[in-house]
Structure 1
Amino acid sequence: MKLRLVPTPTGVQWVRAGVRTFFRQPLALMGLFLMFLAVVSVLAFVPFIGSVLALVAVPALSLGLMAAAREADEGRFPMPLTLFAALRKSPQASRAMVQLGLLYAIGVMLVMGISALVDGGEFAQVYVQGGGLTPEKVMEPGFRSAMWLSTLLYLPLSLAFWHAPALVHWHDVAPVKSLFFSLVAIFRNRKAYLLYGAMWLALSLGVGMVAMLLLAFVLRFSGLILAATAMLPLSLVLAAIFFTSQWFTFRDSFDADSESTIP
């Protein structure tokens, strides 16, 4: 496995490939994304350790979504069990993925712990437990500072785990080493990834504007609950397409036929 250097316009191609592949198998990929959300939500309800279990499962389930995108890209229909591909390869691979999940959980908890020093843990509680978020709370200076600090701290963590599950699963890279390789791949191809991020930001803003117009239209003829129901599918579809596009960032960043080194 060797790092590939890609030209800057590849960032646009990743987004386009994600959109094209998603609409090639929209029902399967959307269904798997909803399964992803459901599994994480169910794990989060486990008493005492639910939040940690949900975080540990994120890398393995993210790999499942990438595997589903790979199946769709190659013209196959992703089956439901594809979501759990990371745990079906071999016992050794499963252990490595669980170790990666534990590292992810530790990283997120460290980020939340640092943010708790700013606002006394209010943002961390909302993030971990969900709910309790009101416009008044968002406007509190301490809560906003903790939110922005968490965002800045989570960015390098997310980049380290961007390719890590795929490297562990498809290239048998050790969990800790996969984090390093992921960061190196993104840094060496930073122009393409910056363009990729900018494209997704623009796409998200565009969808947001459409959602606002839809909200205004629906509110005029119905009510807030129906408006929120009408907006939810847009955000879910966009998130599912984003996860689909991640497969292409990995596919083009690493050469599977080369030796297991990163220059």
Structure 2
Amino acid sequence: MKLHLVPARTGFAWFRAGLRTFWRQPLAFVGLFILFIAIVSVVSLIPYLGGVLALALLPAATLGFMAATREAASGKFPMPAILLSAFRAGRQRARAMLVLGLAYAIGLLLLLGLSALADDGQFARMYLFGSPMTAELVNSSAFRNAVWISMALYVPLNMLFWHAPALVHWHDVPPVRSLFFSFVACTRNFWAFALYTLAWSGLSLLVAFGLVLLTALLNQPALLGLAMMPVSLLMGAMFITSIWFTFQDSFVVSETASAEA
């Protein structure tokens, strides 16, 4: 396995591949996304440790969606059990994925801890425990600073974990090395990822503008609130479908390794 450098235009190809694959099996991916949210919500209800456990499940869930995308891209229907792919590849890889999940949870908690220095933890409490967002809170400069700090720190954290679940699961890369390889791959293919991010951001803004325009034309402002949840689920499912393609093009592997499940 070695890093594969791609031109910037590949980022838009990832975006298109995600959309194309999603619309091959839209009900399957929306169903998987809803199931994932339901699982995370239930786990979050566990007293004291629920929030941390929910965060720790995210790398394994990402891997599950990548496996589902592989299935759909090859013409198969991804079944719900595919979300458990990370824990069905043997004890060693399952343990490595749990280590990765714990590292992600710790990293995100540290990130939120640093943001708490700006606003006494108001943003962190909202993120972890669902504290209500009030107009007073949004207008607070301390809260906005905490949000900007979190966003700035989340970028390198995301780069560390972007490819890591796939490297651990399909190529048996140790968790620490997978984080390093993931960060290097995202850095070296920066412009492709930049275009990929811009494409998804542009689509999100276009969809949001379309909803606002539609509700204004129909003079039904309540429709906006009703439509936001299903549209957000749809956008989330489409986006997560595209992650597999970013990994597939960022590394060159042997045919034997590529065939492993």
- TM value normalised by structure 2: 0.95
CA contact (8 A) 1:215 1:228 kept: no
Unaligned runs of at least 5 residues, structure 1: none
Q: For 1:258 and 1:121, locate their aligned partners in 2 and report how far apart those are by CA, in whole Å.
A: 49
Does 2:227 match 1:230?
A: yes
Distance 2:215 2:126 in 1: 25
Could you say which residue in structure 2 is the equivalent of 1:69? 69
C-alpha deviation, 1:217, in angstroms: 4.4
Preserved contact between residue 211 and residue 234 of structure 1 (Cα < 8 Å)? no
Q: Given that residues 126 and 133 in structure 1 are in contact (C-alpha distance below 8 angstroms), is that contact kept between their aligned partners in structure 2?
A: yes
Amino acid across the alignment from 2:63:
L
Return the letter of the residue paired with 1:228: G
- Judge which range, 147-156 or 206-215, deviates more: 206-215
Tell me if 1:241 matches 2:261. Answer: no
Over residues 191-215 of structure 1, what are the superposed CA-to-partner deviations in whole Å (9 max), with x where a residue is unaligned? 1111111111111111111121234
Count of residues in Structure 1 that have an aligned counterpart in Structure 2 = 257
Letter in 1 for 2:107: G
Question: In the alignment, is the contact (CA less than 8 A) between 1:68 and 1:82 conserved in 2?
Answer: yes
- The answer for the alignment partner of 1:78 in structure 2 is 78
- Aligned pairs (5 A) from 1:1-263: 1-217=1-217, 220-221=219-220, 224=222, 226-257=223-254
TM-score under structure 1 normalisation?
0.94
Instruction: Name the CA distance, whole Å, in 2 between partners of 1:139 and 1:4.
Output: 44
Structure 2 counterpart of 1:154, one-letter code: Y
Structure-2 separation of matches of 1:48 and 1:161:
25
Letter paired with 1:200: W
4+ residue stretches of structure 1 with deviation over 6 A? none
Shift of 1:239: 1.1
* CA displacement, residues 10-30 of structure 1 (integer Å, 9 cap, x when unaligned): 111100000000000001011
Give the partner amino acid of 1:210: G
